[in-house]
Structure formats: structure tokens, C-alpha cells
Amino acid sequence: MIESVKRLERAGADFILIACNTAHFFLENVRHSTHIPIMNMPLETANYLNKHHYTSVGLLCTDGTLKTQLYQKACAHHKIDVMTPSENLQKNVMNGIYAVKAGKLSKGESELALAAEILINQGAEAIIAGCTEIPLVLRSTKDVKVIDPTVILAKEAVKLVYELEKLNI
């Protein structure tokens, strides 16, 4: 990742986005290797949740993202409770993610929808789709609001581009 960031810096990038949720675990180390800003997807997501007055959300993500507590730490800053699947339910989440990666979208959707429904029933106001594969099959319904960190990051990047243009940078 550091070499990729250095390559982008040499190419003249104004800022960097990292689309992979789990890769944000390495964000601070990568930031020390460059002078250009790197946007933080979990933090931007937490800011969005705070702005929209969420107090309790469910998190569906990979085991790696879950263990690193990227979203839990970012949301704690705003006193937003992040509910996570039980150990057994997390297996369904991973099965769903692997199914999507394998192109088995209906299997992936059923595994992930089950996990989302359980977290909603436990009190989550919305579900963070904390893996880029999840929003491919899990969408908001009348019962479940799905928060897509990739979309939030993209929208914030567009805002940043407009700000840089105003400053003629």
C-alpha cells in the first residue's frame, strides 16, 4: 500500500481514497509515507451517521474489519453504538461475502439479509455494509436501512474536489 501511495503522489494525485474497508487498518502507517491527504472511510461513515442522528447501528463486515474495530472506534467518537453479529452469525456474514465474490449473488444476499435482519431486530437503526461486496446484494428496504461506506466516501471525495477547485489547487 505504501508503494502504491508513493506512486500516486508522484503521479500528482491531490488526495487518496482507499476502497477496501479492511485496508483502513493500515491507514496511519500509510499516511506517514506521503504528504497528500488520505480519506478515512470509517471516519467519514461515522460522521455521516452522526449527521443523520443514528445512535445504534449494526455492522456487517469481514472478520478482519470486525477484529480491527475500525467502525467501532470511529463511531465511538460520536457515541454511536455499533452492534456486531454473534460469532455464529459472523460465519453467515463471511459465507455471504464469499458467495458474492464467487458470483453466487442470491446465496450471498440470503446470508447477509439474515444477519442484517437479526441486528435490526436487536435494535440497530441501520446496517453499515462494511465490505465492498455487501452492497452488491444487500439494499435498503422498508425494514432495513443499509449504509454504504463506499458511497459516503465517494460523495465526500466529490465535495473535496469542489473545495480544491474553489481554492484553485
Q: What pLDDT shows up at residue 65?
A: 95
pLDDT in tens, the chain (169 residues): 898 889 888 898 888 898 888 898 888 888 888 888 889 999 999 999 999 999 999 999 999 999 999 999 999 999 999 999 999 999 999 999 999 999 999 999 999 999 999 999 999 999 999 999 999 999 988 889 999 999 999 999 999 888 877 777 5
Residue 85, amino acid: P
Residue 100: give its domain's CATH number.
Answer: 3.40.50.1860
Which residues have a catalytic role annotated? Answer: 20, 131
**Residue 67's closest CA among 18, 16, 24?**
24
Q: Would 75 be classed as within a structural domain? A: yes
Q: Would 160 be classed as within a structural domain? A: no
Question: Helix 87-101 to helix 105-121 angle, to the nearest 10 degrees?
Answer: 150
Q: What pLDDT shows up at residue 14?
A: 86
Q: What pLDDT shows up at residue 169?
A: 57
Q: Would 130 be classed as within a structural domain? A: yes
Domain of residue 141 covers 42-152
The HSE-up count of residue 78 (CA atoms within 13 Å, CB side) is: 23
Residue matched to cell numbers 444477519: 115
Q: What pLDDT shows up at residue 160?
A: 86
Q: Which residues contact 50 (CB under 8 A, 6 or more apart)?
A: 78, 80
Count up the domains in the chain and report the number: 1
Q: Would 167 be classed as within a structural domain? A: no
Instruction: Indicate the Cα dihedral angle 37, 41, 42, 44, nearest 10°.
Output: 80
Q: What pLDDT shows up at residue 152?
A: 96
Q: Would 4 be classed as within a structural domain? A: no
**Residues 76, 63: Cα–Cα separation, whole Å:** 20
